[in-house]
Every structure is written in C-alpha cells, then in structure tokens.
Amino acid sequence: MSVNCGGKFIVFEGCDGVGKSTQVKLLAEKLSDLGQKVCVTREPGGTEAGEKIRDLLKETRKIDPICEVLLMFAARRDHFVKLILPKIQDGYFVICDRFYYSSLVYQGILKQVSVGDIMRLKQMTVGDFEPDLTIILDLDVDISIERVKMRCNFDEYDEMSRIRYSTVREGFCKVSAAFPFCTTLINADGSPGAVFSKILKTIRQHLNVSV
C-alpha cells in the first residue's frame, strides 16, 4: 500500500508522562497558524470504534497480552481506514499520539508478544504504510512518574511501577535505534517551549516543511 498524496503523518511516541499531548497540541497550533490543514488524533482511539476499544481496554482488568494486541490492531485498522488515510489523501497533516511502535514496546517488549506476530498484524492492518516522521520523546523515568501522579488518573495504564516505566523507556530507545531513518529521539527534559523548539528543528530537517 503506498500513500503519496501531499499530506503528512507525524507520530508522537514515548512513555506515559513524557509530554506527548502538550507537544501534539503545540504542533497542531503551529501548523494551523501557518495555514495548514491539521487533524489531531490518538491510538488506541480516533474513531468511534477505536474509542470504544480504548474504553474496553481501560475497563478490562488483566487482559491477556494476545487479546490486548489484537484489540490494539483492530482499533488501528479502523483508525487507518476511516481517518488517517482519508485525511492524508485530503492533504492534511495528521498528528497522532502513538502508533504501532507503542504495540512493539508495550505488547512486544513489556508483555512478550512476539515481534514477528506484531509485525504480521501491522502488515495485515496497515500494510507498508509508515509515518513520515515519528518523534519519540525520552525522559527520566522518575520525572515521567511524577507527572503521571500529578494527573491523578490512577487507572491500569498509570500504575506506578518503576520497572515498567524503565522497560518502556528502554523499549522506545531500542525502537528508535532499530528504525533510525524514520524516528527521532528527543530529550523531553525541559520547558514545553524548549522541547517544542527541538521538535520544530527535527520537522524542518526531516520533512522539508517551513515551520
């Protein structure tokens, strides 16, 4: 499946609490101010079915990892077909909070689902489609945990486990090293403005966009 139609697909990845949603918002505002068409979305979610799957994942305790990865890719397929692809074809910048690298890290590295199975699901659901740029935000684990604690959102996703956070952080670093041409690892320790400046620099370098 090849997509070459003017729009751009930019993904933000990283551990919970690294500041993805702040940076997604800043980038969307910047691109809109420049007159670009922008669509902000997230995974799991982004469509009616995707958001229902997100709720189901959050509400269901102790879900089997295989079941979890299948649900993530079911949500992803719906998101890809109904939102990501049509928006890109319509010339939008689609800015997405997480994509399939999260499955490689959370279900693959953290929960030991095989990478081969995950990549087969990736191929089945989105084919060869890849983001134009994936920005991986990297931050000290203790700072991430403190930020998540401040949100007071203690559901299954925000469980305080330092080992889990470290594994996820290392996982994203491994993914970044494995896909050096389509990912950029950015140190997210700093003010939102300082981190955003680094993101804009990366976008100028990788996407040939004047931001």
Q: Give residues in contact with ligand TYD (CB under 6 A).
A: 16, 42-44, 72, 97-98, 102-103, 106-107, 157
When the beta carbons of 90 and 156 are compared against ligand TYD, the nearer one is 156
What DSSP character marks residue 91? T
Whether a cis peptide bond, with omega within 30° of 0, leads into 192 is: no
Residue nearest to ligand TYD (CB): 106
Contact 16, 142 (CB under 8 A): no
Task: Tell me the closest approach of the beta carbon of residue 200 to ligand TYD, in angstroms.
Answer: 22
Q: How many CB atoms lie within 10 A of CB 134?
A: 25
Q: Which residue has the tokens 């399939």?
A: 100
- For residue 78 the two structure tokens come to 């719906």
Helix, strand, or coil here: 110? Answer: helix
DSSP string, 126-163: HTT---SEEEEEE--HHHHHHHHHHHT--SGGG---HH
Task: Tell me the closest approach of the beta carbon of residue 5 to ligand TYD, in angstroms.
Answer: 24
When the beta carbons of 8 and 98 are compared against ligand TYD, the nearer one is 98
Task: Tell me the closest approach of the beta carbon of residue 205 to ligand TYD, in angstroms.
Answer: 25
Q: Which residue has the tokens 């279900």?
A: 107
Task: Tell me the closest approach of the beta carbon of residue 27 to ligand TYD, in angstroms.
Answer: 16
Q: Where are the alpha helices (DSSP H) in the chain?
A: 20-33, 48-59, 65-79, 85-89, 100-102, 115-126, 141-151, 162-178, 192-207
